[in-house]
Every structure is written in C-alpha cells, then in structure tokens.
Amino acid sequence: MSESSEAQPSGAVGTARQSELSVVARFFKATELDTRMLGMIGALVLIWILFDLFSGGLFLTPRNLWNLSVQTASVAVMATGMVLVIVTRNIDLSVGSILGFVGMIMAVTQAEILPGIIGFDHPATWLIALAVGIVLGAAIGALHGYVIAYMGVPAFIVTLGGLLVWRGAAWWVTSGRTVAPMDSTFRLLGGGPAGSVGATVSWVIGLIVCAAIIAMIVNSRRQRKRFSFPLRPIWAETFLAAIGCILVLGAVLIANTYYWPIGIVRKYIQANNLTISETDLIVAHGIAIPVLVAIIVGVVMTFVATRTRFGRYVFAMGGNPEAADLAGIKTRWVTMKIFMIMGVLCAIAAAISTARLNAATNAQGTLDELLTIAAAVIGGTSLAGGVGTIAGAMIGALVMQSLQSGMVLMGLDTPLQNIVVGIVLVIAVWLDSLYRKSRQ
C-alpha cells in the first residue's frame, strides 16, 4: 500500500489509480481503518470462540464476559500509562508494587485512620482515601521520574529498585497484616451487583457514547472540509459510525443480560422489605463501575496522547529524542510527567483492585507490572519507542485476561496457564514484528 500512495494526489489520478486496487484494499483505504488493530480484535474474537468451544459454552456468556470486563479493568488502567512510558523508550517495572503500596495506604486510611477521626462509613471516607492514594501515587511517580529524567539513572534500574522498595513498604506499613474491610462506598469501585450502574443508566451511557462517536465523525469531516482536504467517502463514514454504535450498544446489551444472582436478589428484597417473589424480580447488572472507570481513563488518556501538546511531545521523543531536544521540548520535564501519570494510574488501579477484594494485602499486584507491559506490547506498543496506542493497550489487557480466565474455565493447571501466557506473549510480538516488516 505504501508504494501505491506515493505521489498520489486527490482527484483524477487518484480515482484512476483507485480502480486498480482490489475491493478489500479500496475498503481499507476509504475507511482508513488501522489494519493492525483489526488484526488484534480478530485475534481476540478467535481466542473467545476457541475458549467457548473448549469450555463447553461457558466462555461467551453474559456472566463470564461481564466478569472478564471487571477483571481487566485494573491492568487496563495501568496499561494506558505504560504506553506513554514505553513510547518514550522507558520501562516501568514498579507498577505492581506501587499498586500494592498505594492500595495498602488507601486501606489503612479508610479502615484504621479515618474511622477514629470522622467515624466509620462516613460519606466522605471513600473520597479522602482515594485522594490520599492519588496524591501518593503521583508523588511516587514524580520521585521515579525525577531520578530517571534529571539524575540520569536508567528507568529499568529506577523502577526495578521501585519494585523492591514499594513491595517492601506495603509489607512494612502493617507488618504484613491484611487490612479489611473497606468503606462501603469505596467498595463500589470494585464492581459486583452493587457496584454496577444498572440497565437504564447503562443504556443512557451507551446512547451518549454513540452520539459522541457520530459527533466526532461529523466534526472531523467538517474540519477537513474547512481546509478542503481529501474526504472519506460518505459510505465509509456511515459504515464506521454504524460499526462503532453496534459495538457499544452490543456491549451494553451483554452487560444488561447478566442478572443478579438469586441470593443477591433475596437479600435485596429483605433489605428493602419488598413483597415481590424472588423469582419475579429480575435485576440486570449493567456496566460495572470499575469498567466505566477504565473506559473513562482510556478516553482521557487517548485525548492526552493524541490531542494535547504533551502527547505530541511524548511520541516525538520516542521517535527521536535528540530531535525533540533540538526542537526546544523540555524532554526531562515531559519524562517526569509521564511517570507521575503512571503513578496516578497505579493509584486508580489500586483503588479498583482493593475495592474488588474488599481488603488490602501486601502481595496485591504482584506480577502486575509484567501483565501491564505485556498488555501494552501485545497492544502494539513498540519497545523501540515511538509507536503505540492507548486503545491497543487496553485491548491487549483484555487479551491477556481472556487467556487467563479462559484457561481457568477450561480447568487448566496453573503452571500450564503461565506457560501458555508466556508463549502467547512471545508469539504475539513475533507476529507483530513480521507485520511491521511487511509494511516497510
């Protein structure tokens, strides 16, 4: 494709050339779809179908898919930050340990410190705990970033040190004791029947997202028209809008067909003194709050990466650090900010996983750094720097989690699970490098 687009102006020559392209090539050219991303989504769908077959139809159920979305949330949140880290040719090995330490501090804040000051289950508890966690995460990230950017210690070493330091710190804070239970509002961040938004709100969110997709397509078309740039054909725009909306509404539909288990319904009826029979009351989960958090993080990070100056600098630095310096970019400060963002994302991920577990343990998040890096790399982030997308990393996180849950559903032994995940990671990156070579 790259040769055919050389010196190809819009207009007469363009259309003459276009008729020579095959139908498939024309389709991809018109829609400007990212073929690599499509390939990854194809791989994900393939994995899902295979697991569904091998697990006897257990995989592609609303219940499993809903659980999958909740289980993915924490790593997906961190993977969005890992993209920026890896794009600038750095690495962060400490995210799992930061998650453990920040989670522990948030747990201690809400379960041991705040009850003595403002009372147990105070409405502000969750906010204070979350704020403490985010500030702490940002501070840890700033410390890492400062040492990496201004003191010139390689990120690999700094965060390898961080891996040990923060894991030790998580242990040290409570002398290894597990802290529980969490504040009841805070626990909503972890999902579960209460931590989901319900059917109606889910539909509303779905429709808002659809409207946003259409608005974005219309707006970008208007912008390109303003400067009379080549436009995508109308059918391609309509197709993209339709596919986007179908995917969003389909996901909402799945979340809304996963109903509360009978035990939860019984408790709910008792708690609210309803007279209705427990088999007549059907309550849908809807989208889980941690999933919403992850999606919001993904949207915000995509915006930061593609629409802001900071994001532009991150990619430029990854492509050619010297050029970024010569262009007058404060590369050290950008690097430090990236690690601060990574710290904040670790804190959000810590909140999700602590809330979900309803406890903080000193082992929480162990090996999450590797899952996060794997998610980013499977999602198309190049370790050579300069290349990567937030959406890709989040899908990568979903792929990793799908593999793990699928193997659990198939009843595969734990050692085999690790072996498979490791092999898949290597094969995925190998295929990606083949793909990139073929594009050059």
Q: Which is nearer to other proteins, 7 or 234 (CB)?
A: 7
> Shortest distance, CB of residue 297 to other proteins, whole angstroms?
18
**Chosen residue from 4, 35, 238, 308 binding other proteins by CB under 8 A:** 308
51 binds other proteins (CB under 8 A): no
Residues 6+ positions from 90 with CB-CB distance below 8 Å = 148, 155, 335, 338, 339
Binding flag, residue 322, other proteins (CB under 8 A):
yes
Listed ranges 131-139, 291-299, 319-327, 426-434: which one lies at the site for other proteins (CB under 8 A): 319-327
Distance CA 298, CA 337 (A): 18
Listing DSSP states for 5-17 in one string gives TTT--SSHHHHHH
* Contact residue for other proteins among 8, 200, 238, 418 (CB under 8 A): 8
DSSP helix/strand/coil, 194: coil
Minimum CB distance to other proteins, residue 311 (Å): 8
Size of the site for other proteins (CB under 8 A): 35
Closest distance to other proteins from the beta carbon of 36 (Å): 14
Token digits for 84? 């920026």
> Which segment (55-63, 223-231, 252-260, 364-372) binds other proteins by CB under 8 A?
223-231
**DSSP secondary structure letters along 257-307:** TSBPPHHHHHHHHHHHT--S-TTT---B--SBHHHHHHHHHHHHHHHHHHH
| Shortest reach from residue 304's CB to other proteins, in Å | 10
CB of 328 to other proteins, least distance (A): 4
CA torsion sign for 412, 432, 70, 59 is negative
Q: Is 329 in the site for other proteins (CB under 8 A)?
A: yes
Smaller CB distance to other proteins: residue 1 or 46? 1
Q: Rounded distance, CA 77 to CA 393, Å?
A: 9
Q: Applying CB under 8 A, which of residues 4, 5, 200, 433 lies at the interface with other proteins? A: 5
CB contact set of 397 (below 8 Å; sequence gap of 6+): 72, 75, 76, 79, 371, 372, 375, 379
**In the structure encoding, which two tokens stand for residue 135, read together?**
């500030």
Which among 92-100, 196-204, 224-232, 426-434 is the span making contact with other proteins, rule CB under 8 A?
Answer: 224-232
List 17, 177, 224, 266, residue binding other proteins (CB under 8 A): 224
Q: Does 437 bind other proteins (CB under 8 A)?
A: no
- Yes or no: say if 86 and 375 are a contact pair by the CB < 8 Å rule: no
Amino acid at 130: L
Residue 277, Cβ density class (10 Å: 0-12 exposed, 13-18 middle, ≥19 buried): exposed
Residue (112 or 325) nearer to other proteins, CB: 325
Closest listed residue to residue 288, CA positions, set 57, 99, 96, 74: 74
| Alpha-carbon gap, residue 17 to 8, rounded angstroms | 8
Sole residue written with tokens 């007549």 = 280
Q: According to CB under 8 A, which residues from 229 to 248 bind other proteins?
A: 229
* Residues of span 368-387 touching other proteins by CB under 8 A: 386-387
| 381 neighbors 393 (Cβ within 8 angstroms) | yes
Is there binding between residue 7 and other proteins (CB under 8 A)?
yes
Least Å distance between CB 32 and other proteins? Answer: 9
Verify binding: residue 275, other proteins, rule CB under 8 A.
no
CB 425 within 8 A of CB 397: no
DSSP readout, 55-89? TTS-SSSHHHHHHHHHHHHHHHHHHHHHHHHHHTT
Binding mask 384-403 for other proteins (x = CB under 8 A): --xx----------------
The yes or no reply on residue 152 touching other proteins (CB under 8 A) is no
- Least distance to other proteins from the beta carbon of 305, Å? 11
By the rule CB under 8 A, 4 interacts with other proteins: no
The CB-of-319 to other proteins minimum distance in angstroms stands at 3
Smallest distance from other proteins to CB 307, Å? 4
- What is the total residue count of the chain? 440
- Shortest Cβ 83–other proteins spacing (Å): 13
Specify the residue, 99 or 149, whose C-beta has the smaller distance to other proteins. 149
| 35 lies in the site for other proteins, by CB under 8 A | no
Binding site for other proteins (CB under 8 A): 2, 5-9, 223-224, 226-227, 229, 303, 306-309, 311-313, 315-320, 322-329, 386-387
